[in-house]
Amino acid sequence: MRISDQQMLAQAQYQMNADYDRLAQAQTVLSTMRQINSPADNPVGAAAALELQDHLAQTNSFSTTASDTLSWLQTTDTSLSSVNDALLQARTLAVQGGDGTLTQDQRRAIASNVAQVLQTAVQAANATYNGHYVLSGYKTSTAPFGITTSGGATTVNYQGDNNAIQREISPGQMMQINTPGSTALPAVFAAIARLHDDLQAGNTAAISGADLQALDQAHDGLLVSQATVGASINRIQSVQTTLQTTQVNLSGQYSQLVDANMAQAATDFSARQATYQAALSAAAKVIQPTLLEFLK
């Protein structure tokens, strides 16, 4: 093909520009340390990276929810344990008070003990987490239990509702995090309250009979609730472990997709720099002597 002087120059310019362009791209990768700087760099990868980003954000959010839920459940667990302790104490007092050899004054002394125990138990049941009552169902700003006395009858009223607080702890998985106080506790408090009233009134037969039975039955119900809470705690802890693993995996995948391999980026840059410099030095020699120089 016939080559003209213009063509030599045009060719050199085109090549210099092309090499400079490639050098600039390598520099962008090196300075941002990312392979994907715009969707055009890797369209499929960019969409996948976005999805990973979203999942990671969701997983982080679920993680926060899970640890919040764990604290809630642990508060519930502590509360129920304290009620359990109070119940056992009441039972001991019931056995004591059922002794037929006691005087009424002694029974009244025991009754006032039982009253203390009841108050302790109700206070434990009114536990809060972060300012919310954990046993009130949806009514988290209302204390679940209140003691009222009228005449010789002590009653403990449940002031919460029966709603289950459901939280999403991982995609598509809902978990009930609360135990409404109406599940097992009214029986417990009713038994202790009756024990108190009977001690106060001196109904020895009831104390060692029906009251003791009621306490035992209430204890069984409470144990079931505690077991459920324990199972929930196990579940949430296992979910937390899974979420942590997921976080690590997602971060790893994202990094693999988007971040640049330092060694490769630096090598690329050096290689393209060398190519560009070669193009420059070739361009410098494009002005060749013509025939005129030799015609004298």
Chain residues in the site for another protein (CB under 8 A): 1-7, 10-11, 14, 34, 36, 38-44, 46-47, 49-51, 53-54, 57-58, 60-62, 64-65, 68, 130, 132, 136-141, 161, 163, 165-168, 171-172, 178, 258, 290-292, 295
Residues in the chain: 296
* Structure tokens that stand for 93 in this block: 């007092």
**Smallest separation (angstroms) from another protein to the CB of 221:** 23
Neighbouring residues of 276: CB distance < 8 A, sequence distance ≥ 6: 16, 19, 20, 22, 23
The nearest distance, CB 257 to another protein, in angstroms, is: 9
Smallest separation (angstroms) from another protein to the CB of 272: 16
Nearer to another protein, 10 or 262 (CB): 10
Nearer to another protein, 43 or 152 (CB): 43
Crossing angle, helix 212-258 and helix 185-201, to 10 degrees? 150
Name which of 100 and 172 has its Cβ closer to another protein: 172
Taking the least distance from each CB to another protein, the nearer of 61 and 217 is: 61
**Spatial distance between the Cα atoms of 238 and 194, rounded to a whole number of angstroms:** 42
Q: Two tokens at 42?
A: 């890797």
What are the tokens at 124?
């434990």
First to last CA, the chain: 29
Pick the closer one to another protein by CB: 43 or 146: 43
CA-based nearest residue to 57, from 254, 242, 237, 236: 254
Q: Which residue has the tokens 């125990």?
A: 117
Which residues fall within 8 angstroms of residue 194, CB to CB, at 6 or more apart? 206, 210, 211, 214
Our CB check for another protein shows the closer of 166 and 270 to be 166
Paired with 132 in beta bridges are: 129
Minimum gap (Å) between residue 125 Cβ and another protein = 16
Instruction: Quote the least distance from Cβ 19 to another protein, whole Å.
Output: 13
Of 10 and 248, nearer to another protein (C-beta) is: 10
* Distance in Å, CB of 107 to another protein, minimum: 42
> At its nearest, how many Å lie between another protein and the CB of residue 154?
27
219 Cβ contact partners less than 8 Å away, ≥ 6 residues apart: 84, 87, 88, 91, 188
